[in-house]
Chains A and B, each alone.
Chain A
Amino acid sequence: MKAKLIVEGCVWKFGDDVNTDIIIPGRYLTITEPYELAKFAFQDLDPDFHKKVNGGDVIVGGKNFGCGSSREQAPLVLKTLGIGAVVAESFARIFFRNAINLGLPVVECPGIADAVKKGETLRITLEEGKIENVSTGKTMRGTVLPGFLIDIIRAGGAVAALNAKIRRAR
């Protein structure tokens, strides 16, 4: 049996309709080095976000997280900063795909925005859509991702999953 995909980390909270320009403003997109670019994550909300965040931390958003542009740099800067997962009331579809393609776990969980405070610790079991608030002891159920998407995350992203498929076909 494969080991379960579990993410545990400290919560950063955001509201509804967090768009890709908020996550990484378009005016920085000519920077192509991910670590350089990640310094500008959430620039217009908190210029020091990249300094404050720790590896494994979890972002909790409201409705429509990641709406706006198709820029994959949005989940890329979050992954580069070490974000372990994004949990939101709902996601915009391009961000959702892009995050999974990069191997960044995303979990849709209605009610999460009210159930979690900044700085609390969440423990997420991806295959079960289970979200435990370690700080309060409360457990919530998010939407379970289809198996083929879990496999992509497990493989470390869509490219790794595709390469495995190409090698099997040869």
Chain B
Amino acid sequence: MTITEKILADHSGRKETSPGEIVEARIDVYMVHEFLQQVETVFHNIDMEKPLHPERIVALLDHWAPAPSVDAAEIHKICRELVERYGIQNWYDMREGICHQILPEKGHVVPGEVIVGTDSHTTTYGAFGAFSTGIGTTDMAIVFATGKLWLRVPESLKINVSGELPEWVMSKDVILRILGDVGADGATYKAMEFQGDTIHSMSIDARMTLCNMSIEGGAKNGIIEPDQKTFDFLKGRVRKEYSPVYSDGDAHYADELYYDAGKFEPQVAKPYSPANSVPITEVEGTEIDQAFLGSCTNGRLEDLAVAANILRGRKIPLSVRMIVIPASKEVYSEAMREGLVETFIESGAQVYYPTCGPCIGGHLGLLASEEVCVSSSNRNFLGRMGSGKSKVYLASPATVAASALAGRLTDPREVGRKHS
């Protein structure tokens, strides 16, 4: 069995399970952000007073934090009342940052568990060897009520990457290329399992980007077998016992894709799909108005460090607004200690407090009509970051920084080489 099949079998009281089977799985951790207010509109119609296991809920505010409008403030107020009423203990308000960064940081994610969240990028936690997927508000209300959820056991898609990635090529380039190959629905209902020495030589930060964007190929979950780096990350954060799970050597995969890491290049997803990706060389020179570095996809320390390395000692032209949003308070603090925040400010970028911000067209840098943004986030759908007439190109933190300096889409290999 694959790691995904094993975790789902274990959580549904079975010895084994196979793709296509419907199981009722025990859910270990439920993540809710502002959609807690939406969950309540469903939960209050269920014949129950309180969630069955409030201790399994992790709640926070990140999408519209701090509130950019009275409507958002009202949603936050309702969420705070619900946290009291439901007896939710794992509550971070808006103090810690973006959900997908702080759940691992605060020790809520461990290998072998099943996690659901009211956010499609809940697939991120697969980077720690957990089964993790996004659900809607009715499903979450049902999980609140029963602690379980029916799930169809997904077929697994093996994605093996081997070798060394070229300089200035990041895991974001790897996932954009894979999405370009499989398409926006190429992994629908499937698990994307990332394997190979390249994956295991990647940092935890980089692995999270891969699993985070597996949903953009339609995947149910993205997953990576845990290793020593995973255990080192979890040490000092996790306060519960856990059992790592691994795929069997003879596990069956619906399809297998093999990549030579040395052949990856900086990759950019053109409007209006993350799967619409091409090598940067095909779109180089496209003029930009805004550069966004942040989000649950690429707002981590490694991302900030790579971008700062390119920006250090240089000035972003006034024609470009560069917005930097660290994914969490922990990332922000560390970025300050390492002098990255100072580098951003000195170069002309604006650094804001951890929040989803412009990625969802929420606040802190929406786009006007005809404007173009290069973004380290995860979606470039029509109207995603503002006007329905704006355009978003998805790219790695290195490409975002290089493009911000030049005022147009730029290959980070050029800038990186000239800089060193």
Contact = CB atoms under 8 A, between A and B. Distances in A.
A135 interface: no
A69 B383 CA distance: 14
A101 B388 contact: no
Contacts of A45: 382
Contact of A44 (B119, B218, B379, B388): B388
Interface string B356-370: 000011100010000
Contact of B382 (A44, A157, A158, A159): A44
Given A29-B360, A93-B218, 15 more contacts: A17-B185, A21-B384, A22-B383, A25-B388, A26-B360, A27-B383, A44-B388, A67-B218, A90-B185, A93-B188, A94-B135, A148-B22, A159-B46, A159-B142, A163-B45
B47 A167 contact: yes
A92 B134 contact: no
Given A21-B382, A26-B384, A97 B136 contact: yes
A146 interface: yes
Contact of A71 (B117, B122, B136, B381): B136
Interface string A11-49: 000000101011001110111100000000001110000
Contacts of B304: none
B184 A17 contact: yes
B201 interface: no
A129 B366 CA distance: 43
B218 A101 contact: no
Contacts of B142: 101, 158-159, 162
Contacts of B146: 162
A162 B185 contact: no
Contacts of B134: 69-70, 94
Interface string B60-94: 00011000010110110000000000000000000
A143 to B, nearest CB: 12
B66 to A, nearest CB: 13
B218 A92 contact: yes
A21 B383 contact: yes
A45 B388 CA distance: 8
B64 A162 contact: no
Interface residues of A, number: 40
Interface residues of B, number: 51
Residue in B64, B69, B382 whose Cβ sees the most chain A Cβ within 10 Å: B382
Contacts of B379: 19, 21, 68-69
B72 A101 contact: no
28 contacts: A21-B384, A25-B384, A25-B388, A26-B361, A27-B360, A29-B360, A44-B382, A68-B379, A69-B119, A70-B117, A70-B118, A70-B134, A70-B135, A72-B136, A73-B38, A90-B188, A92-B185, A94-B135, A94-B136, A97-B135, A98-B136, A98-B138, A101-B136, A102-B138, A146-B22, A158-B139, A162-B146, A163-B47
A64 interface: yes
Given A44-B388, A94-B136, A72 B38 contact: yes
Nearest to A164: B47
B135 A92 contact: no
Given A21-B382, A69-B120, A92 B46 contact: no
B418 to A, nearest CB: 37
A98 B384 CA distance: 21
A86 B71 CA distance: 30
A154 interface: no
Interface string B226-247: 0000000000000000000000
A70 B118 CA distance: 6
Nearest to A30: B71
Contacts of A26: 360-362, 384
Contacts of A67: 184-185, 218
Nearest to A65: B185
Contact of A17 (B138, B150, B273, B366): B273
B298 interface: no
A98 B139 contact: yes
A148 B22 CA distance: 11
